Amino acid sequence: MDPINAIVALLNFVVIPATAYGAQLAIGALGVTMIYGILRFSNFAHGDTMAFGAMCTILVTWLFQSWGLHLWVLPTALLALPFGIAATAALLIFTDRAVYRFYRRQKAAPVILVIVSMGVMFVMNGLVRFIIGVEDQNFLDGERFIISARTFKEMTGLDEGLAFKTSQGLTIVTAVVVVAALFWFLNRTRTGKSMRAFSDNEDLALLSGINPEKVVTYTWIIVAGLATIAGVLYGLDKSFKPFTYFQLLLPIFAAAIVGGLGSPIGAIAGGFVIAFSEITVTYAFKKVLGYFAPGGWEPDSLMQLLSTDYKFAVSFAILIIVLLFKPTGLFKGKSV
Amino acid sequence: MKKLLLASAAAALTVGAAGAEDIKLGIILGYTGPIESLTPSMAAAAEAAIAEVNASGKLLDGATVTGIRADSTCVDAGVATAAAEKLVTGDQVNAIIGADCSGVTGAILQNVAIPNGVVMISPSATSPGLTTMESGGLFFRTSPSDAREGEIAAEIMKERGINSFALTYTNNDYGKGLADAIKTSAEAAGITVTIMAAHEDGKADYSAEVGALASAGGDILVVAGYLDQGGLGIIKAALDTGAFDTFELPGGMIGDSLPVAVGDALNGSFGQVPGTDAPGMGILSGMAGGAFDVNSPYTPESYDAAALIMLAMEAAKSSKSADFKDKVLDVANAPGEKIMPGELAKALDILKAGGDIDYVGATDVELVNGRESSGHYREIEVQDQKNVTVKFR
């Protein structure tokens, strides 16, 4: 019986990675859900918006690094983040003025806007690859670990290591701050309230004198902020490669839909549900159970419910179950 | 159209003068996709062999050979088949050098090469499945089967005193074939395989995969994947969580970019990649002149693949696949005069006179099982963030 090692192993391989991944998905899903709630379409370009924001941040980070500008133990990318957000906001507002506004004035059906956003996705996709290329880019600097597996083993004398990366800590802290700020903005400020009013009932909002163009512009700016932050955190934690951002779109949409499209709190819950289900259901519990079992009773098999090949099947099975029994998602979003 | 007319007019002029043939060879490799960093060097080496033959002017009494590149993408069988189809029916190539990755190679062989009766020699397809695949005598490869790589990997791990390992592979023909080969050979050598799990390329997060691998445990982790795809993601996640410190890296993971991307932590990891210290390597390296890098994986094999096709044509006195397909083994294997890289002119002379050659080439070519190289490997160890060759096998 060795419960401490079991808990450490579980923390190291399940809880910490899933929490960080969940936070990244949650911030991404918040962006998707904001657009769905206020502009009323599913924005397929969101993954590539994240890639664009991360790319701008990386370019500014490299500039700062060449100037010798550093942020003590934290990644320099944090300093560059506001510039990345500004550039992304400019791109999104430009896209809105050039593309989406036309369809909005036509009162186009949401499905048309979805197709349009796919077109935008391919353009952004090409833009990012054209500027920074298709390869992996590494832009993480500063201290890599808050605590590394080896130091932890030396400190505690346990058999199991516990690694906690700076990028993971940063992701979790930033997610909390961003979510708090967003909720404060939506619930307490005049602009935030007008956005919610616009989301609840467009006609009534227009009648009460809310300027729709202003609401749309603010939405895109907030989405740019969320997308860039999610993109940069993901890039710091794993690595930046345009193709993987495109692939992130699926889990992000799954998170937003499970939580309830249009519901910010649902997006956050959805992010964690998807991340934890992907990792725990396919985790091999051999080691963890081995520590709990009395001597000689350790399991020989892997104690794995499903092979990791099926991790996407798991998140989509959850998605289908939620949609069957609660079509509006866990937190009463708009029905899809 | 105008350009095409001009080009064909020019070609007609040069050919017409000698009254000789214009031979076309398709070079179908993944210029985009997972191994896009390796293919430029491979194609340049194949073109070097073509240039050498053209310079000699001795092939089939002065025929000129043109290489035509086409993109196999390495992973998309549909795109690769279409590209090969265009080469065979549009450009009317006489033979194909390629393809590169095993999946697309099998697809092109079945859908294009066999129906049209065109010879193809792959420099880099290594799936064991291709050893037995029905080919109508049209398919050869200058790369060895992964079954051989499995034996080498087991041998290296045994020598390094490894008793158990976890194994992850990229979920495609290449990864699965190689992983099976490594597992079989390792178990025969008395090494325990704790888990064998697939990973998908280009995914957002590999914590789940690494969690399962770590739980199964083992002295090291064998990563049969691609160095700029999921393989890199797995290694990073495994190092970050402290799951594994040392990795065994098969051919698809050997490249200059991996130690740079991962950093110090990869030092001490080891692997193997097809390659040889055969004297031919030195000669080819001298001939490269900066156009290609002989130490880049599958580059010398590409030179050999192109050379074999052209020598077989001379031996058969015909550029038609149906005629020279039976001559490939004759020129590649003993008996006969040994031919090194840069001696293609001499080889053509001997063949013309009706003599026998044994093409040695850059990689000590010896075709076994009627179609594939017997295989020479470099044992690599990562030292100071560089891939260093420590031994030849």
Q: Which residue of B has its CA nearest to A285?
A: B215
pTM (two decimals): 0.74
Amino acid B95: pLDDT: 95
Grouping H, G, I as helix, E, B as strand and the rest as coil, residue A21 is: helix
Q: Which residue of A has its CA nearest to B262?
A: A138
CATH number of this structure's domain B147-276+376-392: 3.40.50.2300
Would you give the DSSP letter of residue B101?
A: S
- Taking a C-beta distance cutoff of 8 angstroms, is the pair B46, B67 a contact? yes
* Cβ–Cβ pairs < 8 A, chains A and B: 102
Q: Which residue of A17, A239, A283 is in closest CB contact with B212?
A: A283
ipTM of the complex: 0.77
Amino acid A256: pLDDT: 92
What whole-number distance in Å separates Cα of residue B392 and Cα of residue B27? 29
Nearest one of B143, B147, B150 to B298, comparing CA atoms:
B143
Contact (CB<8Å) A244/B217: no
Contact (CB<8Å) B207/A238: no
What domains does chain A contain, in order, with CATH numbers? 3-249 (1.10.3470)
Q: Could you check whether the bond before residue B335 is cis, i.e. omega within 30 degrees of 0?
A: yes
Q: Which residue of B has its CA nearest to A312?
A: B203
> What residues of chain B lie within 8 A of the CB of A308, using their CB?
197-199, 208-209, 212
Nearest one of B236, B214, B222 to B271, comparing CA atoms:
B222
Mutate which: B36, B75, B241, vs A, most A CBs within 10 A: B241
Q: Got the DSSP string for B138-168?
A: -EEESSPPHHHHHHHHHHHHHHTT--EEEEE
Place of tokens 């194949």: B46
Sequence spans of domains, chain B: 2-145+278-373, 147-276+376-392
Chain B: nearest CA to A23, how far in angstroms?
Answer: 13
Whole-number mean pLDDT of chain A?
88
Contact (CB<8Å) B203/A165: no
CA angle B312, B314, B318 (to 5 degrees): 90
In sign, the C-alpha dihedral spanning A72, A75, A81, A83 is: positive
Same fold, B2-145+278-373 and B147-276+376-392: yes
CATH number of this structure's domain B2-145+278-373: 3.40.50.2300
At residue B302, φ and ψ (nearest 5 deg) are -70, -40
Task: Tell me the pLDDT of chain B (393 aa) as tens digits.
Answer: 556 555 555 554 444 444 578 999 999 999 888 788 889 999 999 999 999 999 999 999 889 999 999 999 988 999 999 999 999 999 999 999 988 998 999 999 999 999 999 999 999 998 888 888 888 899 999 988 888 888 889 989 998 989 999 999 998 878 888 899 999 999 998 999 998 888 988 777 788 888 888 888 889 999 998 887 788 889 988 988 888 989 999 888 888 888 888 888 888 899 988 777 778 888 998 888 888 888 888 899 999 999 999 999 999 999 999 999 999 999 999 888 899 999 999 999 999 998 899 999 988 888 988 888 888 888 888 988 888 888 887
Grouping H, G, I as helix, E, B as strand and the rest as coil, residue B288 is: helix
Q: Could you check whether the bond before residue B128 is cis, i.e. omega within 30 degrees of 0?
A: no
Task: Tell me the pLDDT of chain A (336 aa) as tens digits.
Answer: 678 888 888 888 889 999 999 999 999 999 999 999 888 899 999 999 999 999 999 999 999 989 988 877 888 889 999 999 999 999 999 999 999 999 988 888 889 999 999 999 999 999 998 999 877 788 888 788 888 888 888 888 888 888 898 889 999 999 999 999 999 999 999 999 999 888 888 888 889 888 988 999 999 999 999 999 999 999 998 888 888 888 888 889 999 999 988 888 899 999 999 999 888 888 888 777 777 777 767 777 777 777 777 877 887 888 888 889 888 888 876 654
